Structure formats: C-alpha cells, structure tokens
Structure 1
Amino acid sequence: MQLSKNFSLAELVASDWAARHGVDNTPSAAVLLELRRTAELLQRIRNYLTACAGIDTPLSDISGFRSIPVNRGVGSSDGSDHVRGMAADFKARGMTPYQVCQALLPKLDEFGIGQIINELTWVHVSTKMVAKPINRIITIDRHGTRAGILQVRP
C-alpha cells in the first residue's frame, strides 16, 4: 500500500530486528492513519531536499513504526513517537544528517515537523509537537543530548 508518492506502508513498518526475532510489527488502524501523515511528511522532506540539491535525493534506512516489543528490542522507550506511527528515522543520499537538519530548520512549521533530531548517523523527525520547546530541535550523540542542530562529536 502506497502512503505517499515515494513511501509505502511496507517501507515504514520494515524492521530488521522484528524479522530476526520473529516479532509482529503490524500497525493498528489508528496507527496507520498516523503513518500516512508521517509518509506525507517524509515526502515533503524528500521533495524539498531534491529541489535544494538539484538531483533526486531519496531517503533510505527508514525506521518508521515500531510495535512496543520491537521498540523495546531496539532499546527505545514505550513513549516513543515511533510506537504511535508519528516518527521516522532516515538518511538522505549524498547528505550528512547535520546537512539534512540544517536544510530543514527553516521549514519545520511549514512541513509539520514537531521534532527534529540530528542523531548519530541519521535524522529523526516527528509529526508530534513536543511539550517543551527546548526538545524540538536537538542533537544526540555519544556525548549526550544537546539543544540545537550541532555537529555530532566523535
């Protein structure tokens, strides 16, 4: 099932962890509605990055929906927006996560990005607005969590 021009349901629920451990990662009907919104957000991001780069910029290594068992298995909390289908982690061809985040900062409200994280080797976006504004734009690396989009430190 296509959720947007370039993103399918299969892509947003795919999980290597779930496959390796035989865990079901099927979203409920309510989560499916949120996944459609997340796919539409990813489509806006892909279209924008492609326009900025002047070449097709596909998103890859997408981690969208995670059932509670999958989310726990990958070390995330039950409160994660991934559990509700409201978040996705991804990489963009030819761009570092820092570059993607920098490009998206002026578009947060227009695109409906509630949270953006420059996280190690990927970008995390959520359609849900965070409760505390300080948590909307952050960087997470092996040194911890910091406000703003910063270069990831080795």
Structure 2
Amino acid sequence: MQRFLLSPNFYLDEFCRSQTAERLGRSIVVEQDSEIFQNLKQLCATVLQPLRDELGVSITITSGYRPKWLNDHIGGSQTSYHLFGLAADLVVPGVPPLQVAQAFERLSLPFQQVINEYGSWTHVAVPPIGEEPLRQSLTFAHNGEQRCVKAGLHNVVQA
C-alpha cells in the first residue's frame, strides 16, 4: 500500500489506525480529494509538524480521523473534531502529556483546543480552514467516577 505524506513527518495512515475498527473488521478510508484529507493536512501543517520540529522527536498518533460509525461505537462526542479530520490524540515518548500540551501554547500554534487528558495523552484540534483558532486549553481528570474538566493546563495526579 502506498503511503501518502501529509507533512514531512506525518503520513495519512497514522490518522486512519484504530484497534476498535480492526476488531470490528472495518477499515478507515480517506480519499485524497476529500475535505477530510485537506483537514488532516492542515492539522499536520499548522500544529503537529511545528511541534515535531520543535521537540525533535517522533510523535505517536493514538487517535486521528474517526468516521461516524467508529465515533458512535466508542461513544465519542457527536461534535468531535475527530469526525472531520481536525483533531488528533497523541503521545510523545519521554515527554509528559502536560509538557506536550504546554508546548502547543508556548509555540503560539493556532489550535482550536488542546487538552491534557488524564495525564495520559494530549488532544489537539484545529479550527476549520478559514476560521480563527479559539486556543482553548483544558485538563481532564478523574474525580472518583466523575470526569473533572478544568480550564487551563494542569498536572494530573494518577490514582
């Protein structure tokens, strides 16, 4: 299978992987002439590649584009930017998620939203092409059985 570059260090297939889809026997397909493909290129060009260039290490995409059937199956938000190829969840080996999220802010990258999710991974979304970025920063943590959402980026203590 041919790999398609979205930016110097990111390939389309990195955003189309899903263990859940594999378990369901389904594939995630993004056509090169689609809006999703253009959105993924924007995501890479505006926030992911600049972060990769700054950190100088590889970034692992744990969740990228989610078709509606996959988003529904995992209980994702019906307004998730993942549905449009405008968001990614990621980890950077050796760099805590809080530091990754803070790097997006420090570099003044045009993100819509960056989230330190449970101290386990970083979520980043970009606005649709032509829209101004909101630059919203959040932290998700657990408070017992409840999800706690705090404005800003904070350390998350693992229980």
Once the two structures are TM-superposed, the CA of residue 96 in structure 1 deviates from its matched residue by 0.5
2:7 is paired with a residue of what secondary structure? coil
Once the two structures are TM-superposed, the CA of residue 38 in structure 1 deviates from its matched residue by 1.2
Partner of 1:84: 84
Once the two structures are TM-superposed, the CA of residue 105 in structure 1 deviates from its matched residue by 1.6
1:6 counterpart = 2:9: yes
Equivalent-residue separation in structure 2 for 1:102 and 1:81 (angstroms): 20
Structure with a larger share of its residues in helix: 1
Equivalent-residue separation in structure 2 for 1:33 and 1:105 (angstroms): 24
1:94 counterpart = 2:94: yes
8 Å Cα contact 2:111/2:126 also seen in 1: yes
Equivalent-residue separation in structure 1 for 2:156 and 2:114 (angstroms): 14
Report the AA paired with residue 123 of structure 2: H
TM-score, length basis structure 2: 0.82
Equivalent-residue separation in structure 1 for 2:102 and 2:152 (angstroms): 10
Once the two structures are TM-superposed, the CA of residue 137 in structure 1 deviates from its matched residue by 0.4
Structure with a larger share of its residues in strand: 2
Equivalent-residue separation in structure 2 for 1:114 and 1:36 (angstroms): 15
Equivalent-residue separation in structure 2 for 1:61 and 1:2 (angstroms): 14
Equivalent-residue separation in structure 1 for 2:102 and 2:78 (angstroms): 29
Report the AA paired with residue 73 of structure 2: G
1:48 counterpart = 2:54: yes
Partner of 2:29: 26
RMSD: 2.0
8 Å Cα contact 1:62/1:89 also seen in 2: yes
1:149 counterpart = 2:149: no
1:37 counterpart = 2:47: no
TM-score, length basis structure 1: 0.85
Q: Structure 1: which 4+ aligned runs deviate by more than 2 Å?
A: none
Once the two structures are TM-superposed, the CA of residue 84 in structure 1 deviates from its matched residue by 0.2
Deviations 1:67-119 (A, max 9, x none): 011112222112100000000010012100011122222223xx221110001
Once the two structures are TM-superposed, the CA of residue 47 in structure 1 deviates from its matched residue by 0.7
Equivalent-residue separation in structure 2 for 1:104 and 1:68 (angstroms): 27
Deviations 1:20-70 (A, max 9, x none): 1123322351111101111222111111122xxxxxx11114311010111
8 Å Cα contact 1:46/1:59 also seen in 2: yes
Query: Percent identity between the aligned chains?
Result: 31
Equivalent-residue separation in structure 2 for 1:62 and 1:7 (angstroms): 13
* Consecutive unaligned residues in structure 2, runs of 5 or more: none
1:139 is paired with a residue of what secondary structure? strand
Aligned residue pairs: how many? Answer: 144
